[in-house]
Structure 1
Amino acid sequence: MFRPSFLPKQNTGGHRKLRKTAYLDGIRGFAALMVYCLHHQLWAHAFYDGSPALENTFGYNGKYYFAALPFIRTFFSGGHFSVSCFLVLSGYVLAVKPLQLMRQGEYVLLGDNVSASLFKRWLRLYIPIIIVSFMIMCTPHFFGIHMSFEPQKSWKDEVWKWYCDCKNMFFIWDTGNRVINDYHPHIWTIPVEFKGSITIYTALMAVSRMTRDGRLVALCVLWYYFMYITDGSYYCMFVSGMILCDLEMRAAEGTLPRWMRSLEPYKNVIFYTLFTVAILLGGIPSHSIEVSLLKSSPGWYYLAWLKPQAVFDFRWFFLHWAAVFLVASVPHIQWAKKFFETRFCQHLGRISFMLYLMHGPVLWLLGDRLYCAVGWTIPGHHILLMPWWVGRFPLPQWGPKGLELSFIVCQMILLPVTMWVAEVMTIVVDDSAIKFTAWLYTTPQEMQA
């Protein structure tokens, strides 16, 4: 627990045995790290032109920041790109086993698999959230430490508000896309994950008896519906992941559509192009959802006209393509695949859920105070709520935007602490939730037997 799992253990030889799709875990883990980077950049620079500088393009309003350069900007403001990757990856991973069973004609096992997956999915996603949000909710009342929310007058009132926030988030059939939890705003993606999971399992069962080509056509029609007829860009990403999974399996079988097979001689050029376009589109200006912002951003004017009428938030249309192109291209680019299969990226993949859930609490609990202490002060926030920390250890803000000395020094503390907390919570909370969910599903069956 105290030794990061990505560090090699002593007296172990040979190479690690990786699953065929291990690179997907690496992408998910690295994406979680990019979410961490985005939230820390925006929090520390909130009073210092943070979001307008880091979430707009290079040259916007005559400002030329290194952190806003194409490709480079992914490491500073790639958190939205990461979310789209999460959704595409979920669609891919959730579809693997059902698609394999379809190909084998094992329809009884397919029903068993989808049944088990549906039962476990809610518990798998929400048990860690219940635990983490409860801990956050208790912190101001038990320890007198200010977090990111305005506490209620008593712990009893806080528990009731926490309960109301949670039950509203658990009800996924709300017509809105986002359900914000005051105790943990970052978990707005979890209801989307659960709704997307139901979309995947329902679609798979609906097309399970179709031919290969019929299944592909049906899934493409569903993709078109989500992207161009209704404002379902989040769920379009799940369907895209499912389609990618199906195409990868067909490629391994040699049963791709003829027009795709005809492109085989050009696959290196195609996949390198897709990878490059993915990184460029992943840097979509994200400071505002107004299309006028996109049209006024250098290099994005003509692309802005591609946004479908049905998509309200233009960012997710472009981020959808960015994530799809990335996930599609990585397994066919040797150096990229090897990077995401490194021990470090695999470690990030293992702790990715807890890294996503815990980087916020660590930021609010420790990061907020460290940034305040070295000089990243937000007057209306720090001076009122934590005056002792204001300028306690002042450091110069030398360096380019996003790489200032005082920011880097804080990261030398915050990143290791966050990684360690995420690993501990993975072992204590996430792994336990998985085991409990499996036990809860199998125990009634054993009792019946």
Structure 2
Amino acid sequence: MSSSSLLPSSPNERTEKPPNNPPRKSTTTLILPTLQTSLSTIGHFLLPECLIVHSPPQVLHETSWLDGLRGVAALLVVLQHEHAMVNMGLHRCYGYGHDDETRSLAYWPVVRLLFSGGSFAVMVFFYISGFVVPRRMIQMLHEGRQTEYMEALQSAIIRRHVRLLMPAFFSALLIIVFYHITGFEENWSGGRASNIFVEFLWWILDCLHTLNYFTAFAMRYNPVTWTIVVELKGSMAIFAWLFVVHRLRPQRRILLTLALSFFLVLFGLGSWFAAFFVGMLSCELDLLNASGELTHIWLPWTKISHYLAQHKRLHALVLNAGIILGLLFASTPMLKGPSAKEAIERCAWPETLFNIVPYHYWQNWPTLEYRDFWYFWGACLLGISIKEVKWAKSLFETNFAQYLGRHSFSLYLTHLVVGATFSRIIFILCGYSHLGGPDANWPFDRIAVGAWHDYFPASVGPQGLTPGIILNLMLTLPVMFFVAEMGTKVFDRPSVRLSQWVWEWYQLL
């Protein structure tokens, strides 16, 4: 083939290829997908869990029931604070002062937990933390992984501070921003700063004060954080104790932990911290039982355990009785009177139970330490029994209980701000005049007191079950759950990642 045959025979046969340049996109074409993605992300963020159609099924693990128990406990705290806005007397004894109002269903044992069970629920928090927080480290000790245990202990000490304090600090910051933007009357003592920048400075000082949790009580902007302070103290006490006894054999470690728990609750006025240690004790027994090692360890109750194991019906009866007793101890009412003796005589509650309470629990009368004694035993009995009773355990593994458990920390930290604004408005509309009226601050002075009274009166029905209260719970709880979900996404889950990052950063030092 000649070279000339490779050339076009005429100029008409010559063609030039167009440049391979993509068509220029308009600004709208570039921005629209980005805007759609952003709106989709925001919409997914704000979408409540109950509206997610294709949500993955939740896989239960060995301590899922504790997550559900924690969630239900958080809900009890919410219910107590909601009822306390309109009736502070629900803690009192049934029939106190021969008043018909105190003979309502809300004052009955066990039932009263739905109205005033938040104080007991806090003791349940402490027991659960004692069970869950040291679990991985105790398992390492059982497996003889001493070196890994020391690293895990160091990691837990560092991460625990971030895990608890970051949500507490950040939720308080969001509360400050909310009140300054909306202008609502603040729900913290001491008044509001002149502007938000001064408030930020006070918030920083409040955070620094709370960092010294050995002397702090609670954050100024979120009073419920007093339990976070106790959680930190209890966690550090567990870590220190576990370090002291980590070289002992499980039998001796269990017996020493049991002795420490009894000392704290009987002689040390330390029922809160005793709950942490009993939770840790329950965790170790649970791990030993799961591995089959518990049968090779002698404990004071070994013979009783073997006997009950051989008699299934009696075993089930004892465990169910433990649940009933735990609920009864959890129902211990608040006393009111000039002296403890006179208050006990007025109360329709077994006098023997009050007489069993050690003397030092009464020294600060009229404070409520005497209730903590029985709350401790109630929390321990429930924790130990529920784990072994199938029907009770399954209640806390239901979807709703697990939902509450996933958002329990955020629900606990955010419910007060919803109650102090949204709930208060509903209560005013239903006729609870002490929350509104011309003497109240904006915007509560602008709301017509009793505008809904004809439909949802505040003074009709048994105490704690008036139409106004029921309406408030029906409207408020969904709002609280939504806010709690947002809090879980904004500061709860990020605190887990941040705590891990802080630990990794610390290892590089």
For 1:408-440, what per-residue CA distance to the aligned partner results, in whole angstroms no more than 9, with x for missing partners?
222222100100110111012111111122112
Answer with 376-385 or 270-279: which moved more.
Answer: 376-385
Q: What residue in structure 2 maps to residue 299 of structure 1?
A: 349
Distance 1:11 1:223 in 2: 42
Q: What residue in structure 2 maps to residue 68 of structure 1?
A: 107
For 1:119-145, what per-residue CA distance to the aligned partner results, in whole angstroms no more than 9, with x for missing partners?
011111111111111222334433321
Answer with 397-406 or 102-111: which moved more.
Answer: 397-406
Answer with 2-11 or 323-332: which moved more.
Answer: 2-11
1:332-347 mapped onto 2 (5 Å cutoff): 332-347=388-403
For 1:189-233, what per-residue CA distance to the aligned partner results, in whole angstroms no more than 9, with x for missing partners?
111000000011111111111112111111012112312232221
Q: Indicate conservation of the 8 Å contact 1:29/1:350, yes or no.
A: yes
SS at match of 1:383: coil
Distance 2:217 2:408 in 1: 22
Distance 2:334 2:251 in 1: 37
Per the TM alignment, residue 247 of structure 1 is displaced from its structure 2 partner at its CA by: 1.9
Indicate yes or no: 2:211 matched with 1:170: yes
Distance 2:409 2:260 in 1: 28
Q: What residue in structure 2 maps to residue 203 of structure 1?
A: 241
SS at match of 1:275: helix
Per the TM alignment, residue 287 of structure 1 is displaced from its structure 2 partner at its CA by: 6.0
Answer with 270-279 or 389-398: which moved more.
Answer: 389-398
Q: What residue in structure 1 maps to residue 404 of structure 2?
A: 348
| TM-score (norm. length: structure 1) | 0.91
- Of 26, 40, 64 in structure 2, the residue corresponding to residue 22 of structure 1 is 64
SS at match of 2:133: helix
Q: What residue in structure 2 maps to residue 193 of structure 1?
A: 231
Indicate yes or no: 2:82 matched with 1:40: yes
Per the TM alignment, residue 294 of structure 1 is displaced from its structure 2 partner at its CA by: 4.3
Distance 1:185 1:114 in 2: 30
Q: What residue in structure 2 maps to residue 358 of structure 1?
A: 414
Per the TM alignment, residue 379 of structure 1 is displaced from its structure 2 partner at its CA by: 6.0
- Of 293, 308, 311 in structure 2, the residue corresponding to residue 263 of structure 1 is 308
Partner AA of 1:428 in structure 2:
V
Kindly tell me: are residues 365 and 238 of structure 1, through their superposed partners in 2, closer, same or farther at Cα, counting changes over 3 Å?
Answer: same
Distance 1:382 1:218 in 2: 60
Q: Indicate conservation of the 8 Å contact 1:147/1:365, yes or no.
A: no
Kindly tell me: are residues 18 and 11 of structure 1, through their superposed partners in 2, closer, same or farther at Cα, counting changes over 3 Å?
Answer: closer
- Of 372, 376, 379 in structure 2, the residue corresponding to residue 316 of structure 1 is 372
Partner AA of 1:233 in structure 2:
S
Partner AA of 1:201 in structure 2:
F
Distance 2:244 2:55 in 1: 50
Question: Which of the two has higher C-alpha Rg?
Answer: 2
Indicate yes or no: 2:70 matched with 1:5: no
For 1:23-71, what per-residue CA distance to the aligned partner results, in whole angstroms no more than 9, with x for missing partners?
000000010001000000001x1xxxx222x112222222311111111
Per the TM alignment, residue 16 of structure 1 is displaced from its structure 2 partner at its CA by: 4.4
SS at match of 1:120: helix
Unaligned regions of 5+ residues in structure 1, if any?
none
For 1:377-429, what per-residue CA distance to the aligned partner results, in whole angstroms no more than 9, with x for missing partners?
21688732121114163221332211211122222221001001101110121
Q: What residue in structure 1 maps to residue 286 of structure 2?
A: 248
Kindly tell me: are residues 182 and 17 of structure 1, through their superposed partners in 2, closer, same or farther at Cα, counting changes over 3 Å?
Answer: closer
SS at match of 2:159: helix
Q: What residue in structure 2 maps to residue 400 of structure 1?
A: 462
Q: What residue in structure 1 maps to residue 134 of structure 2?
A: 95
Per the TM alignment, residue 180 of structure 1 is displaced from its structure 2 partner at its CA by: 3.5
How much identity, in percent, do the aligned residues show?
27
- Identify the structure with bigger relative contact order (alpha carbons < 8 Å, sequence gap 6+): 1
Distance 2:210 2:376 in 1: 24
Per the TM alignment, residue 250 of structure 1 is displaced from its structure 2 partner at its CA by: 2.8
Kindly tell me: are residues 110 and 140 of structure 1, through their superposed partners in 2, closer, same or farther at Cα, counting changes over 3 Å?
Answer: same
Distance 2:307 2:55 in 1: 49
Q: Indicate conservation of the 8 Å contact 2:322/2:381, yes or no.
A: yes
Kindly tell me: are residues 304 and 378 of structure 1, through their superposed partners in 2, closer, same or farther at Cα, counting changes over 3 Å?
Answer: same
Distance 1:18 1:155 in 2: 44
Distance 1:320 1:74 in 2: 15
Distance 1:11 1:39 in 2: 32
Q: What residue in structure 2 maps to residue 110 of structure 1?
A: 149
Distance 1:244 1:402 in 2: 36
Q: What residue in structure 2 maps to residue 122 of structure 1?
A: 161
SS at match of 1:302: helix
SS at match of 1:182: coil
Per the TM alignment, residue 242 of structure 1 is displaced from its structure 2 partner at its CA by: 0.7
Q: Indicate conservation of the 8 Å contact 1:372/1:391, yes or no.
A: yes
Kindly tell me: are residues 383 and 390 of structure 1, through their superposed partners in 2, closer, same or farther at Cα, counting changes over 3 Å?
Answer: farther
Distance 2:424 2:438 in 1: 9
- Of 308, 325, 329 in structure 2, the residue corresponding to residue 277 of structure 1 is 325
| TM-score (norm. length: structure 2) | 0.81
Distance 1:51 1:11 in 2: 41
Distance 1:353 1:329 in 2: 24
SS at match of 2:221: coil
